[in-house]
């Protein structure tokens, strides 16, 4: 065999390409379960972090079930649908018309209080940005938030996954006199404003992406929040009525007792 011929060179190259492709494909198949498991654990870790539970990834599988008490899928009217929030691929859902979207929502119990977690996804400078933001049961005040990215500029937009950017979201509100205003991420001037957070110096486009992401995603959940508020008011009215009835019964029994004594 003449190894100096072009046919030999091309043939050898083709064989090597096939061999390498088979090896890479086999390795990918072998590692797929481990990769999927790591992705799932990281997602659970970030969901927990959005309610202030900061743990290592390997502990997420156990701690997740200790805090997350429900995983809902909503429609655009705020009504619950079949399915689990964890199985919803937000990257696909946000491309659909809102009337067809599945809206994932997680409910956590932290220190005997309910927290409502909304998954986020939007556009940064170089690629998608994402995260989770949780609300107190007033459906207005942010309890905590966590953000991440796929390829933002290191030292600039990539800083959205740092605590110094995420922590100021705590206590911010998305409503003003009952109207949705969301949360604005801007460079400077956010101190003392309940609806604003300071942006990242040099990361204006990524900061704007976070603003747009919050505005677009959070307003989708307003119908559900309003339904929950109505249910809460009904329960409070019912409880008040029951208390009044109990007091009236006590007064009646007391009056009857007095008459018997007299």
Q: Which of the residue ranges 33-47, 64-78, 89-103, 157-171 would you say has the lowest mean pLDDT?
A: 33-47
Closest by CA position to 103, among listed 90, 114, 116, 92 = 90
Percent of the chain with pLDDT over 90: 65
Asked if pLDDT for residue 31 goes beyond 50, the answer is no
Confidence of residue 11 (pLDDT cuts 50, 70, 90): low
Specify the pLDDT at position 76. 96
Mean pLDDT on 108-114: 96
Asked if pLDDT for residue 113 goes beyond 90, the answer is yes
Concatenated DSSP letters for 59-85?
Answer: GHHHHHHHHEEEEEEE-TTS-EESS-G
> Average pLDDT, whole number, for the chain?
86
Specify the pLDDT at position 241. 61
**Interior angle at CA 80, CA 176 and CA 140, nearest 5:** 15
d(CA 88, CA 117): 14
Task: Tell me the per-residue pLDDT of 199-248, one tens digit each, with 9 for 90 and over.
Answer: 998 899 999 999 999 999 999 999 999 999 988 776 665 655 665 565 55
d(CA 220, CA 229): 16
Asked if pLDDT for residue 72 goes beyond 50, the answer is yes
Confidence of residue 36 (pLDDT cuts 50, 70, 90): confident
Neighbours of 196 (CB within 10 A): 19
Specify the pLDDT at position 232. 78
This prediction has a pTM of: 0.79
The upper half-sphere exposure of residue 218, i.e. CA atoms within 13 Å in the direction of its Cβ, equals: 26
Confidence of residue 34 (pLDDT cuts 50, 70, 90): low
User: What is the C-alpha R_g of the chain?
Assistant: 27
Asked if pLDDT for residue 77 goes beyond 80, the answer is yes
Mean pLDDT on 124-137: 96
Task: Tell me the per-residue pLDDT of 160-201, one tens digit each, with 9 for 90 and over.
Answer: 999 999 999 999 999 999 999 999 999 887 888 999 999 998
């Amino acid at each position: 065999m003449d190894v100096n011929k072009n046919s030999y060179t091309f043939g050898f190259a083709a064989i090597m390409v096939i061999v390498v492709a088979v090896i890479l494909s086999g390795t990918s198949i072998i590692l797929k379960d481990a990769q999927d498991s790591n992705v799932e654990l990281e997602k659970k870790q970030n969901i927990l972090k959005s309610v202030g539970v900061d743990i290592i990834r390997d502990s997420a599988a156990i701690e997740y079930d200790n805090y997350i008490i429900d995983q809902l899928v909503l429609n655009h009217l705020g009504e619950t649908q079949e399915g689990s929030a964890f199985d919803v691929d937000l990257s696909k859902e946000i491309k659909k018309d809102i009337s067809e979207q599945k809206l994932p929502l997680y409910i956590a119990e932290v220190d005997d209080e309910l927290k409502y977690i909304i998954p986020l996804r939007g556009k940064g400078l170089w690629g998608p940005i994402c995260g989770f933001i949780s609300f107190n049961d007033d459906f207005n005040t942010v309890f905590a938030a966590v953000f991440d990215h796929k390829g933002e500029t290191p030292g600039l937009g990539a800083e959205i996954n740092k605590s110094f950017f995420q922590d100021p979201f705590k206590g911010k509100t998305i409503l003003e006199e009952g109207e949705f205003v969301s949360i604005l991420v801007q460079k400077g001037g956010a101190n003392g404003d309940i609806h604003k957070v300071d942006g990242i110096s040099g990361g204006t486009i990524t900061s704007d992406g976070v603003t747009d992401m919050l505005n677009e995603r959070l307003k989708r959940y307003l119908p559900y929040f309003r339904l929950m508020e109505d249910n809460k008011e009904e329960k409070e009215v019912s409880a008040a009525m029951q208390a009044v009835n109990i007091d009236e019964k006590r007064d009646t029994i007391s009056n009857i007792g007095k008459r018997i004594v007299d």
